[in-house]
C-alpha cells in the first residue's frame, strides 16, 4: 500500500512498471481496486480532465468530402491539393501544382466532381484558397444547409491524417532530394532558370507518383472497415442515396476533441499564404528543346539530377 501511494499520480501502465521495479508483482485489476480505496477523489478529478473524443460518423459516400492543401514542398513552389471522401476514405483528387490560388483549387475539385459525382457537403479549413469551392458548393447544393463547412484543421482529421501517409509514401523522397540539391549547390531557389528547370523535370514525376500512390491507397484494406476505400466507395455509390438532412451541421464530418467549431464560410483569412505561380517563362524554341531532351517520361540512374542539369543548360543557352 505504501508503494502504491508513492505512485498514485502516475498513469496506469507506467505505474505498474514502477511497482515491478521495486520487486512488487501485482495485477492491473488489484491496482485499480487499491486506487479506488486510497484515492477515489483523485480518480474522479482525473476523469473530469479526460479528453472526450468525437466518433467520426458519416452516413454514406459523397455525403461529405474533406479538402485541403499540403505545403511540405512549398519552399520549392510545389503545393499538393487533395480531397478525400469522408465515409470510404477514397481519395477523390490528389495532385501537385505550382500555386494554391482559388481558381486552381476549384479546377482540381471540379475534375473530381466529374469523375466521382458532386458531394452533398465539403469540409475545409478557412483558407482563402477554398473560397471558390465554397461559392461553387453553395450555388450547386444551396445556401444555409452546410454545403460548405469550414473550421479548424483539427476538425478535418480525414484529410489531415491522409497527409501524413502521402508525405511518407511520396513527398518525403522529394523533400530530401531537393534539400540535397540545395546543399550541393545544384539548386538555388532564387534563380528563376533553375526553378523553372526543377518544375519542368520534377512536377510531372511528382504527379505520377501521387497518382500511383492514390491507386494503391484505394486498394489497401482498412482494418476497421474490413474492406478497401475503392470497394467501399463503389458499393456506396450503388447502395446509398445522398439526399438526407442532418441536425448538427457544425460537427458533421469531424472527429477528435470537442472544441468550438466554425460554420458557414465567412471569408476569415487563414494564416497560410496564397502562393502564385512564378512570373517566369521561356520562349517557344526553348520549351520545344526541353520537351525533346527532358521529356515527362524520363528515366534516370541519378534521381533525375542529371536531367535537371540538362534542363538548366538548355534554359541558360536560350535565355
Report phi then psi at 65, rounded to 5.
-110, 145
Specify whether 158 is located in the same domain as 204. Answer: yes
Specify whether 13 is located in the same domain as 97. Answer: no
Give the residue from 213, 231, 257 where a domain finishes.
257
Specify whether 100 is located in the same domain as 244. Answer: yes
Q: What is the pLDDT of residues 149-169, one digit of tens each?
A: 988 777 788 899 999 999 999
56 located within any domain: no
230 located within any domain: yes
Q: What is the pLDDT of residues 288-309, one digit of tens each?
A: 999 999 999 999 999 999 999 9
Q: How many domains does the chain have?
A: 2
Specify whether 29 is located in the same domain as 108. Answer: no
Specify whether 223 is located in the same domain as 176. Answer: yes
pLDDT of 231? 92
Beta bridge partners of 40: none
> pLDDT-derived band of residue 51, with 50, 70 and 90 as boundaries?
low
Q: What is the pLDDT of residues 181-198, one digit of tens each?
A: 999 999 999 999 999 999
239 located within any domain: yes
Contact between residue 214 and residue 115 where contact means Cβ atoms under 8 Å apart: no
pLDDT of 244? 45
pLDDT of 52? 59
Specify whether 39 is located in the same domain as 79. Answer: no
- What's the CA gap between 85 and 64, in Å, rounded? 6
Specify whether 25 is located in the same domain as 162. Answer: no
Give the residue from 215, 241, 257 where a domain finishes.
257
Tell the residue number behind the cell numbers 444547409, with chain if given. 145
Give the residue from 257, 281, 302 where a domain finishes.
257
C-alpha cell read off for 194? 533553375
Q: Residue 30, exposed/middle/buried by CB under 10 A (0-12, 13-18, 19+)?
A: exposed
44 located within any domain: yes
38 located within any domain: yes
Domain region containing 89: 64-257
> pLDDT-derived band of residue 8, with 50, 70 and 90 as boundaries?
very low
Specify whether 140 is located in the same domain as 208. Answer: yes
227 located within any domain: yes
Specify whether 210 is located in the same domain as 82. Answer: yes
88 located within any domain: yes
Specify whether 144 is located in the same domain as 168. Answer: yes
Task: Tell me which H or E stretch contains 35.
Answer: helix 28-38
CB-CB neighbours of 112 under 10 Å: 23
Average pLDDT taken over every residue of the chain: 83
> pLDDT-derived band of residue 102, with 50, 70 and 90 as boundaries?
very high
Predicted TM-score (pTM) of this structure? 0.77
C-alpha cell read off for 302? 541519378
Q: Show Cβ contacts of residue 316 under 8 Å, excluding neighbours closer than 6 positions.
A: 193
Contact between residue 37 and residue 213 where contact means Cβ atoms under 8 Å apart: no
Specify whether 75 is located in the same domain as 161. Answer: yes
102 located within any domain: yes
Residue 182 CA: distances (Å) to CA of 76, 196, 200: 11, 15, 17
Tell the residue number behind the cell numbers 482529421, with chain if given. 157
pLDDT of 34? 75
Specify whether 31 is located in the same domain as 95. Answer: no
Amino acid at each position: 500500500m505504501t508503494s502504491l501511494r508513492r505512485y498514485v499520480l502516475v498513469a496506469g501502465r507506467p505505474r505498474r512498471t514502477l511497482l515491478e521495479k521495486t520487486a512488487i508483482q501485482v495485477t492491473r485489476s488489484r491496482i485499480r481496486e487499491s486506487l479506488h480505496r486510497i484515492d477515489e477523489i483523485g480518480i474522479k478529478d482525473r476523469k473530469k480532465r479526460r479528453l472526450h473524443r468525437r466518433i467520426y460518423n458519416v452516413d454514406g459516400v459523397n455525403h461529405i468530402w474533406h479538402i485541403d492543401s499540403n505545403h511540405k514542398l512549398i519552399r520549392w513552389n510545389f503545393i499538393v491539393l487533395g480531397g478525400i471522401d469522408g465515409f470510404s476514405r477514397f481519395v477523390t483528387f490528389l495532385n501537385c501544382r505550382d500555386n494554391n490560388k482559388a481558381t486552381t483549387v476549384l479546377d482540381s475539385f471540379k475534375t473530381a466532381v466529374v469523375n466521382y459525382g458532386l458531394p452533398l457537403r465539403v469540409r475545409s479549413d478557412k483558407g482563402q484558397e477554398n473560397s471558390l469551392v465554397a461559392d461553387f458548393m453553395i450555388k450547386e447544393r444551396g445556401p444555409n444547409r452546410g454545403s460548405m463547412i469550414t473550421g479548424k484543421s483539427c476538425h478535418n482529421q480525414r484529410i489531415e491524417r491522409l497527409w501524413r501517409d502521402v508525405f511518407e509514401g511520396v513527398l518525403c523522397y522529394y523533400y530530401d532530394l531537393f534539400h540535397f540539391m540545395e546543399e550541393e549547390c545544384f539548386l538555388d531557389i532564387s534563380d528563376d532558370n533553375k526553378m523553372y528547370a526543377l518544375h519542368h523535370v520534377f512536377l510531372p514525376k511528382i504527379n505520377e507518383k501521387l497518382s500511383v500512390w492514390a491507386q494503391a491507397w484505394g486498394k489497401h484494406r482498412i482494418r476497421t472497415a474490413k474492406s478497401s476505400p475503392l470497394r467501399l466507395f463503389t458499393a456506396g455509390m450503388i447502395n446509398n442515396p445522398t439526399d438526407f438532412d442532418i441536425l448538427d451541421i457544425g460537427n458533421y464530418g469531424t472527429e477528435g476533441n470537442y472544441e468550438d467549431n466554425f460554420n458557414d464560410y465567412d471569408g476569415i483569412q487563414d494564416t497560410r499564404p496564397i502562393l502564385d505561380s512564378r512570373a517566369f517563362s521561356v520562349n517557344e524554341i526553348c520549351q520545344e528543346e526541353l520537351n525533346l531532351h527532358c521529356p515527362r517520361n524520363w528515366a534516370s540512374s541519378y534521381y533525375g539530377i542529371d536531367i535537371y542539369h540538362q534542363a538548366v543548360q538548355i534554359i541558360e543557352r536560350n535565355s
